């Protein structure tokens, strides 16, 4: 059936339960696959998914269990090595879970489901047994989603697109979709030792499994771009030298590529298009895709743990790859569309709080169970240490509005496994009232975009005053000092995967996303960037030197700020995407880390500065406080834990905070750190004065005298390309020093 005319010729009307007409294309059902000759025993309704086990009679097989509320029937579809399909009906139904135990089905066997029910898009019912569906609980996935017309539950190319989603397509999708794989849970974590890094001591490094190792010269070619590649000693060596305590992996759940990208010859690189919440993405496996990817992922986690590095997953539970009513039918849409997705009042269309076409209906108990089962699986069986939740505000919505007492947040708070791991919210979605920075409850940390914006604006000299900068440097108490939250509730970042790289932030005023094929319309225009006098790459040595200085300023500011710093892979050595601020579809050298940058003395010096700053942070608890500053004097000499100074060497007044300024002095006292060490002794540290000067020209800064200090030693000077490893210049308190334009000085109190 190829032309619109042919489609229209065979279309007919079928009455639905409430009398609305619906159209079915090619109503002649495909020839059924052979019915299983192997008996299907009743099995168990729990746990969900495909679980290999040995029955009470000693016979090995697999128990299959699928929640499919409202369905009229479920067929289990088994596939042999040649792709031949055998179907077996699951006849047991317990609390809307269809289940059965099939003897002889061993690990490595591929499978899927066909779910029977009404086709009535007008009421949200989109069952279509012609479409092979991926098990939501599949622990491994074999194959890739090519998204031809056959994988759509409706006729994708129906000439009248405004009603296309109501025209059912009865062509078989099995030849075109990946299959779930039965996996044997035989792994033991007895030899794994989780680092369990406290939040306040954490330094996060956001990376892409493929992009981080794809061009790494020390990783064998056959392992580049894979879990095994990230586990390779050459990859881990860089992380250890840099000093980060955790990697935050861009999505590794099985995902699909969007149809509009495939049509343009592109692919979804970032992976924010999940379709399998239990399966490691098969495209990152070097060892095989019929279950081997599970073991490879676990070995990667073990290797990182052995190096003292935690593993945090960026997870996308807010939407799936099935998009809206015009999207493909791959899994949940064909299992129970109304049960899994938020629908608009007319039930035919989707409520979209994500900008991706659909939103999971987390208020529904079975959807909440799917998410929490997935989270617990990755912690207990895959060994991960935490999660960053994409568009977390969408998960916190009750019926419509964002609700910090929502079922999702309540379940996480009481779960004995999940409440113990690191939980990071991207605290917004695209719906009304979706911006929730500072609103998530205790246990949660948040990506702090107000930190990002303030630091970017300060260093391009675009802040009207320094009030915002003061809050961000000192832990964002205005956002997080409530309900028992601590400074580490703020994940501080200047760049993330989404947006300019750090180098591009100081090299481009405008985005350059032409390679994405969307007319440069995609990606934000609000970059808060400054190109330092030339757009893009230039041979002007003055511009190049200023850009490197700005990079040093941004890195130094980030790693001296109170809160949890997050770096993006490659920013520590000047990675560029050529001005592309939305490289989600650039699975190529644009998106991959360029390791040859470390051969350039200038970029190697940047890496060494980043490593030195992280080491400084690890050594000094005053830079990673577990409680907010009080700003009050705790001793007779009037010394406070935090003080702010103007270039005159005087403490800032209320008026100084509101006045235009490009210079800020921040004094951190090591004498007044709350809490005690593991032995119960007071925590004492050096005291520091940080001087941040964003003006073009030099400024004279008077170093505060007693009781603050008698002498100061320069520890970091971003005006220098190379940082001295030996003790720096010592200045007497009360003297005036000249701070060059666009410079950070960090001075230790002597």
311 Cβ contact list (under 8 Å, min separation 6): 246, 247, 249, 300, 301, 304, 305, 383, 384, 385, 386
Distance CA 211, CA 220 (A): 15
Whether residue 105 contacts residue 89, with contact meaning beta carbons closer than 8 Å, is answered with no
**How many degrees, rounded to 5, is the angle at CA 678 between CA 674 and CA 683?**
35
DSSP string, 696-738: SS-EEEEPP-TTS-SEEEEEEETTSSSPPSS---EEETT-EEE
DSSP code of residue 166: G
- CA distances to 123, 170, 285, 347, 675 from 24, in Å: 16, 8, 40, 19, 69
Distance of alpha carbon 591 from alpha carbon 570, whole angstroms: 10
Q: How far apart are alpha carbons 335 and 466 in whole angstroms?
A: 54
Rg over CA atoms, the chain? 28
Residue the block writes with tokens 């879970």: 97
Q: For residue 390, indicate whether it is catalytic.
A: yes
Give the active site residue among 169, 258, 426, 446.
426
Active site residue 608: no
Phi/psi at 285 (nearest 5 deg)?
A: -100, 135
Q: What is the DSSP letter of 216?
A: -
End-to-end CA distance of the chain: 82
Residue 271: how many CB atoms within 10 A of its CB?
25
| Number of other CB atoms surrounding residue 520 within 10 Å | 16
Cα angle 211, 212, 216; round to 5: 105
Residue of 502, 408, 461 lying closest to 697 (CA atoms): 461
* Coil/strand/helix, residue 24: strand
Catalytic residue (choose from 120, 258, 259, 390): 390
Helix (H) or strand (E) holding 447: strand 444-447
Contact 426, 389 (CB under 8 A): yes
Residues recognised as catalytic: 390, 426
């Amino acid at each position: 059936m190829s032309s619109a005319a042919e489609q229209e010729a065979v279309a007919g009307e079928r009455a639905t339960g409430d009398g609305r007409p619906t159209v079915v294309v090619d109503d002649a059902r495909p020839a059924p696959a052979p019915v299983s000759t192997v008996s299907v025993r009743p099995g168990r309704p729990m746990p969900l998914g495909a679980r290999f086990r040995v029955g009470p009679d000693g016979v090995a097989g697999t128990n299959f269990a699928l929640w499919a509320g409202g369905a009229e029937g479920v067929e289990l579809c088994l596939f042999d090595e040649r792709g031949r399909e055998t179907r077996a009906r699951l006849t047991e139904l317990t609390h809307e879970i269809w289940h059965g135990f099939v003897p002889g089905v061993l690990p490595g066997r591929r499978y899927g489901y066909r779910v029977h029910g009404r086709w009535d898009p007008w009421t949200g019912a989109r069952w279509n047994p012609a479409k092979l569906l991926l098990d939501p609980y599949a622990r491994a996935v074999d194959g890739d989603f090519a998204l031809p017309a056959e994988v759509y539950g409706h006729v994708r190319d129906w000439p009248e697109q405004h009603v296309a989603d109501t025209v059912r397509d009865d062509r078989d999708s099995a030849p075109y979709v990946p299959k779930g794989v039965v996996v044997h849970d035989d792994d033991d974590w007895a030899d794994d030792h989780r680092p369990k890094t406290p939040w306040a001591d954490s330094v996060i490094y956001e990376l892409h499994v493929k992009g981080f190792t794809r061009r790494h010269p020390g990783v064998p070619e056959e392992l580049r771009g894979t879990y095994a590649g990230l586990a390779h000693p050459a990859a881990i060596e860089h992380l250890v030298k840099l000093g980060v305590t955790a990697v935050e992996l861009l999505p590794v759940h099985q995902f699909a590529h969007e149809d509009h990208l495939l049509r343009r010859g592109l692919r979804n690189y970032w992976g924010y298009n999940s379709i399998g919440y239990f399966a490691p993405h098969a495209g990152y496996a070097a060892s095989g895709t019929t279950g081997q990817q599970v073991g490879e992922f676990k070995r990667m986690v073990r290797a990182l743990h052995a190096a003292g590095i935690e593993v945090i997953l960026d997870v996308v539970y807010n939407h799936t790859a099935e998009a809206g009513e015009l999207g493909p039918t791959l899994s949940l849409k064909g299992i129970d569309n109304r049960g899994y997705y938020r629908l608009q009042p007319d039930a035919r269309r989707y409520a979209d709080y994500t900008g991706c076409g659909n939103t999971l209906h987390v208020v529904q108990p079975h959807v909440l169970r799917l998410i929490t089962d997935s989270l617990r699986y990755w912690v207990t069986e895959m060994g991960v240490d935490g999660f960053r939740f994409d568009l977390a505000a969408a998960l916190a919505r009750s019926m419509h509005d964002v609700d910090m007492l929502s079922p999702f947040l309540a379940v996480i708070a009481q779960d004995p496994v999940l409440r113990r791991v690191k939980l990071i919210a991207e605290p917004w979605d695209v719906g009304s009232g979706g911006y929730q920075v500072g609103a998530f409850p205790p246990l949660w940390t948040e990506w702090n975009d107000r930190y990002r914006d303030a630091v970017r604006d300060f260093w391009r000299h675009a802040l009207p005053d320094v009030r915002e900068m003061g809050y961000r440097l000192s832990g964002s108490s205005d956002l997080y000092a409530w309900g028992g939250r601590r400074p580490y509730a703020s994940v501080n970042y200047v760049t993330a995967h989404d947006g300019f790289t750090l180098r591009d932030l100081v090299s481009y005023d405008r985005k350059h996303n032409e390679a994405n094929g969307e007319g440069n319309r995609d990606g934000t225009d609000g970059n808060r960037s400054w190109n330092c006098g030339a757009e893009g790459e230039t041979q002007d040595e003055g511009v190049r030197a200023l850009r490197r200085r700005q990079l040093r300023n941004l890195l130094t500011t980030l790693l001296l700020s109170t809160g949890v710093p997050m770096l993006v892979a490659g920013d520590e050595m000047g990675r560029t995407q050529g001005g592309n601020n939305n490289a989600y579809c650039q699975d190529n050298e644009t998106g991959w880390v360029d390791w040859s940058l470390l051969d350039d003395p200038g970029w190697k010096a940047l890496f060494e500065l980043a490593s030195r700053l992280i080491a400084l942070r690890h050594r000094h608890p005053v830079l990673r406080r577990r409680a907010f500053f009080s700003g009050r004097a705790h001793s007779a000499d009037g010394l406070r834990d935090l003080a702010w100074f103007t270039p005159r060497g005087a403490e800032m007044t209320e008026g100084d905070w509101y006045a235009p300024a490009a210079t800020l002095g921040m004094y951190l006292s090591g004498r007044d750190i709350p809490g005690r060490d593991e032995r119960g002794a007071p925590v004492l540290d050096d005291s520091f004065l940080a001087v941040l000067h964003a003006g073009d020209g030099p400024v004279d800064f008077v170093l505060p005298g007693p009781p603050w200090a008698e002498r100061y030693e320069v520890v970091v000077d971003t005006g220098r390309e190379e940082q001295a490893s030996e003790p720096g210049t010592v200045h007497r308190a009360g003297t005036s020093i000249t701070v060059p334009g666009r410079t950070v000085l960090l001075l230790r109190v002597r």
